[in-house]
Structure 1
Amino acid sequence: MNAVPVISFEFFPPKTADGMEKLRNARTQLAAFAPQFFSVTFGAGGSTRDRTFETVVDIQQAGFEGAPHLSCISADKAEIRDLLAQYQAQGIKRLVALRGDIPSGEVSSGDFRYANELVEFIRAETGDWFKIEVAAYPEFHPESSSPGADIQHFKHKVEAGADAAITQYFYNADAYFRFMDQSRKLGIDIPIVPGIMPIYNFTQLARFSSVCGAEIPRWLRLRLQDYGDDLASLRAFGAEVVRTLCEQLLAGGAPGLHFYTLNQAGTITSILEQLDLQQR
């Protein structure tokens, strides 16, 4: 296991004042694990642009490192240039650069087709100001034509100037380790941090997974379905599954863990305490 695994957490920008208070409470609890950063998602087509900005600035002003997601689909270069300047003015030094989901009914992709083009643009506009995180897909991007094409797309993002990567979530550690082996064979040597999705309820997880292409192994799917409406038992079982996965990943050399929090802290806190990662 790594001596000091890097921990980070992802939030989504809340829509209401109550939602922001809930996020701040979760952030306070998760701060006990000395996260490297808190990232904030960016809606399809920039639909949460202002709320993402406000949430990241709130994190930054509270004394933590905020990392806004920045997706480029349907955006033009002037929009991205303006947003980069706003983040620089706030002293924000880290970005998660993504292509992003195509909004429903969207026809034009804007000035960018792929995430590597966004990374290139950020580097051309801002040099080394930002540490750039990109996405990686151990179980392959749902739009990828083949596993070989998928890993090449990832390599293009690295060559464009990415500093590190965060994976899509998964529940099969072997998928991550195979992806790492393939990446290293291609000369990719940036840190690749596994993304971890806690299990809160089966319906929600199945919906997320159908969209992003993450596999729910058959044994896990059937066990989760078997709990039915017994959410307490399902979450206890899910926490055990995720904790075991984290142990396997860290023991196998993963540089850290990135948690998709869904703006909740309780389950993640329990998992990290059992991994003995509190107050590092």
Structure 2
Amino acid sequence: MAFHHAQHANSLNQSLADLNGDINVSFEFFPPSTPEMEQILWNSIQRLEPLNPKFVSVTYGANSGVRDRTHGVIERIQKETNLVAAPHLTLVDASDEELLDLAKHYWNSGVRNIVALRGDLPEGSPKPTRFANDLVRLLKSVADFDISVAAYPEVHPDAPNAQADLINLKRKIDAGANRAITQFFFDIESYLRFRDRCVAAGIDVEIVPGILPVTNFKQLKRFAGMTNVSLPRWLHRQFEGLDDDPGTRSLVGANVAIDMVKVLSREGVKDFHFYTLNRAELTYAICHTLGVRPQAKAE
């Protein structure tokens, strides 16, 4: 029995030790809409900055008010931090001329990284005629941006089938994208199968898993419904009975994400992208477990 326990202890120690390798992380934030939310955002950015992420991205809405807020956050990150800022950019509601101007403005102001997306179509829009691969091509025509694009292990809601979705991702990579970041997921097998299919299709960039640390399961169910993400039964059971217990929900959420990144890390994943929802606590704890920690200052 003692030998059996020792085996378990060794495998746990080994799995945690394995994580302290050359892990890269990146973080996503969204532009705040109130002064209170702005304070929360900047507290989170300051908390996560010492972890030295590869880049931090800032999401982007179709309407111009949100776009202006995105630009404002990007400019402030550039000015006040040492972080690499990567604005999201979408085709929705912008002409090629406007996008070319914006790309030139970004390049001239020192932005080198962009997350290029088609964008969500407004209600009642006609079928799109321009796609994310067109945006990647347009950006590369301006300058040699480092471009991230989106990938969907469980298939984009608008795609007719998984094969068509994979072909679309290949178009984005062939147009010059440097990496793909996945939609959040909880079924690790779906990510691993998707990664294998990407390799078979000749997609030779990093397929970075998008990790969403969950604190609010009701909100997660809404997100998942909009994005075609399946929530396994075990995840429902984990959050059962915790609607009025945010403290325990946070602990459960951190535990779920830590388990996911441990398994993915053992499968050779070295890059992780965290959807922070502008909150630092869970992401910081998960990064700490991954071995991603502030650099000790030289004495």
Q: Above 0.5 in TM-score?
A: yes
Structure-2 residue corresponding to 1:208: 223
Report the CA distance between 1:19 and its aligned residue. 2.5
- Partner SS, residue 165 of structure 1: strand
- Partner SS, residue 193 of structure 1: strand
Given that 1:45 and 1:102 are in contact with CA atoms closer than 8 Å, whether structure 2 keeps it comes out as no
Q: Does residue 237 of structure 1 match 2:246?
A: no
- Partner SS, residue 294 of structure 2: coil
Q: Does residue 64 of structure 1 match 2:83?
A: yes
Distance 1:136 1:107 in 2: 23
1:84/1:247 CA distance change after superposition, 3 Å: same
* Structure 1 letter corresponding to 2:154: E
Q: Which has the larger radius of gyration?
A: 2
Report the CA distance between 1:107 and its aligned residue. 4.2
Structure-2 residue corresponding to 1:6: 24
Structure 2 length as normaliser, TM-score? 0.88
Structure-2 residue corresponding to 1:158: 173
1:1-280 equivalences in 2 (<5 Å): 3-44=21-62, 48-62=66-80, 63-107=82-126, 109=128, 113-124=130-141, 126-128=142-144, 130-279=145-294
Distance 2:59 2:196 in 1: 29
Report the CA distance between 1:20 and its aligned residue. 2.3
Where does the alignment leave 5 or more consecutive residues of structure 2 unmatched?
Answer: 1-17
Report the CA distance between 1:45 and its aligned residue. 5.1
* Structure 2 letter corresponding to 1:127: A
User: What percentage of residue pairs aligned between the two structures are identical?
Assistant: 39
* Structure 2 letter corresponding to 1:115: A
Distance 1:194 1:224 in 2: 22
Distance 1:70 1:8 in 2: 17
Report the CA distance between 1:35 and its aligned residue. 0.5
Report the CA distance between 1:178 and its aligned residue. 0.8
Distance 2:157 2:49 in 1: 33
* Alpha-carbon displacement from aligned partner over 1:180-209 (angstroms, at most 9, x marks no partner): 111111111111111000111111111111
Distance 1:18 1:66 in 2: 22
Distance 2:72 2:269 in 1: 32
Structure-1 residue corresponding to 2:4: none
1:59/1:188 CA distance change after superposition, 3 Å: same
Report the CA distance between 1:104 and its aligned residue. 2.7
1:45/1:219 CA distance change after superposition, 3 Å: same
Q: CA RMSD in A?
A: 1.7
Distance 1:86 1:61 in 2: 16
Distance 1:45 1:148 in 2: 32
Distance 1:93 1:20 in 2: 24
